[in-house]
Structure 1
Amino acid sequence: MNCQEFHKMIPDLLAGTLSPEELSATREHLTTCPACAEALRTAREALRSVTPHFEPSVPEGLEAHLLDAVHRRATASKTPERRTPRRRFIGILSGVVSAAAVVIVILTFGLNTPVRAARNRLTQAITSMEGLRSIRIDLRIRTSEAENFDYTNPLEEFVPHTIEAIYKPQLLWRVEKPGRKALYDGHRTYLWYDSLNDGLIQPYSPDAIGMLNLLIDPSQLLELERQLTRAHDGSRYELHRDAETLRLTVISPAQGDFSQCDRERNTSIIESNTRREYRFDALNGRLLGARVVFLDGDRERTLLEIDRIEYNAPIDSATLAALPEGITWEHPAQALPSGRLIGIDAKEAAWLILAAFATWDNEIVDEALRNYGAHARKLLQSRYSGATVEGLSEPVRSGRYPGWFIPCTLRMADGSREKIHMALRNDTPDKGWVIDGGL
């Protein structure tokens, strides 16, 4: 790449729209050409000084019209011509500022508001992670050891988590926290619980680790954030740079529908009002760390914090994929449905399942509890066998949960009462209802 070619790419470089190949070529040129590096620095400073702190509504076609005007201004002959008001405006504009400044004005009002600047930074960070061989991440999350990997609660204490992944020659990953662990060995996903000695074997299932799946390859998390910049969901973006790091802050409202029920509010990062803070290496663009802060009015509490990211970490594939001993493994897909929980609505399914509790009808109960291991089902049987239904309310939706919550009152076998919010979903391949929590 020569200097002329580089200068043509400056607008796209500032906008973050270069292809990985073009970006690599510009970086290589900058290492050998101080003049172009200084030109890029000047353009960035000028752009930063005029970038507004909101994303304006740009009239359709404005950017194309301005670029076309600049192009015609640069290539037009010197033959005098009658100027319309529009051409007189472009002439004045180009007479006051250079062509580069015109491009900066275009970028400011069409491309590089804080939202778009954040999007460009995320694009560069995603590109910087290409070619990784492995990764290890140590992080802390306010959650419960027994809960799923998606669950967060600002009132809980921090629980340490470890994520390890190998990308080549095939993807392998392992996620651990006290009480619950999961791994993918290149063929199947294993999920197990230390306290129950229960384990489930599934086909490849990133849902087994919820949001942490995005950190198996951090570029997935950054890609999600990049997509969210286009969602217009009320999020605000801030970008700050110092000598060594670039910091991106995303302030975002809770996502999901809470019009029927607040049950899921503040039970996950995506369903909470948060401030997400990312730190990037200013030189190579890689993610250095992240923090998610729960926002509740004037109160703040950190929900998640990455303590360390080690790229190309020395991870042994055999150790990573090793399974523990003493675990009873089950294949949920082998639990063939009876059909009695298929083709009915959530309330009918809840009635049928709870009625089966009274006599512990294994045909129905095992189908409804197919996502629970053998030990867990035995514990539930010891608690709920003989229970009868005293009350069952209408199912409600909450947050982003794909199923329904059904408030129930049970008369237990010992005569006591217990109120539960049974979580039911039927997004399984056979569309049969299963219990997903609440017991």
Structure 2
Amino acid sequence: MGKILLKNGITVNEGIIAENDVLIENDIIIKIAKDITDANAEVVNVQGLHILPGVIDDQVHFREPGLTHKGTIATESRAALAGGITTYMEQPNTMPQTTTIEKLEEKFQIAANSSFANYSFLFGGTNDNLEELKRLDKNACSGIKLFLGSSTGNMLVDDEKVIENIFCNTEMVISAHCEDETTIKENLAKYKAEFGDDIPMKYHPIIRSEEACYLSSSRAIALAKKTSARLHVFHLSTGKETELFRNDIPLEEKKITAEVCIHHLWFSNEDYHEKGSLIKWNPAVKTANDRNLLWKALLDDRLDVIATDHAPHLLEEKDNVYTKAPSGGPLVQHALPAMLEKVSQGVISLEKVVQKMCHNPAILFQIKKRGYIREGYYADLVVANLNDTWKVTKDNIAYKCQWSPFEGVEFSSKVVHTFINGHLGYSNGKFSEMRNAKRLTYNRP
């Protein structure tokens, strides 16, 4: 690929915003400084634009294999590049489920052939695959995923002895979906008795309630403390849960960490009236007060990572009564613009967005040479214009499912270019057909 020189940009990295040029050779950043000159480099003028590390999304559902009518590794990783996401970790609730080493490697092969963004996968724990999990090399993939509440693909792990055995038998990060199934079933039965299957969508956060989330996450954390397991709690949705996490030690020293997703930071239960099933997620979008408390915990570093939980469904699937409308929605293309909108509103700093979306996932999962703008690191870079207003419309949505919960929203910041391992994979609304993605590697002793 040769050399590329990004000239006159503004780098955002490790808490510092500075005017810099960035010189790339093949797939690596080789120099970061002011006023770089190189006669052999292709110059890309990014005057006045911000250069960010490529975003690392630790939770996506790209639906392949088995659910490819909703999305594929190719279509959704391509959309991710349009949103500045250069690395993703895909979840195991596909068909077949990623619960054996054989199925894990099959997914890696699919991604090697078709992914536009860097990739890894989480290995699914179940009630009966502990021996397979013990065989898994700690550098094989991002980590372990446990569904402690049921979701799409129903991989519910509800045997407490099995859960404890899993916690005791891996050095890898255990990422958990925490909702108490018994509480949810009791709540659902109550509303089905009143409404049948056509339960008004506004009851979703009452059915999948604060209590259901807190019960499950607090139990998982207690077990992690008991077993010294490395636990990462996915997609927090309640203010109450934020009280379970610490901010008095560096991320590198935390054994128990947490993530918050875009939709829980953007929407609230007040939006169900307009959006209906389009904002039906598990865990549910809850109250405006929950949203405010999630923001507070994110800003004071009790919550470590911002992710998407990108989970596309077709509109005709979403357009169903409550009990038949699946949970989940597409988000990878619009996650970074949504957070940059919050920067423009003064809610969060640009440096903090980069910390939570780029640096911290790399630290948490011990990813090698990604997540930062550093010499010697892979050239995964996003060039963003923080003063370019655009509206999300059907015409500019890149997801296979062809809709977004952000449709009609005007963002004031835009992803201009996305470099993937030194290759310009996305530029001004156009995608390169060249795939330059790599399988993630790790710094795990």
For the criterion TM > 0.5, the same-fold answer is: no
- Pick the structure with greater CA Rg: 1
User: TM-score band, normalised by the shorter chain?
Assistant: under 0.3
Higher relative contact order (CA 8 A, sep 6+): 2
TM-score, normalised by the number of residues in structure 2: 0.21
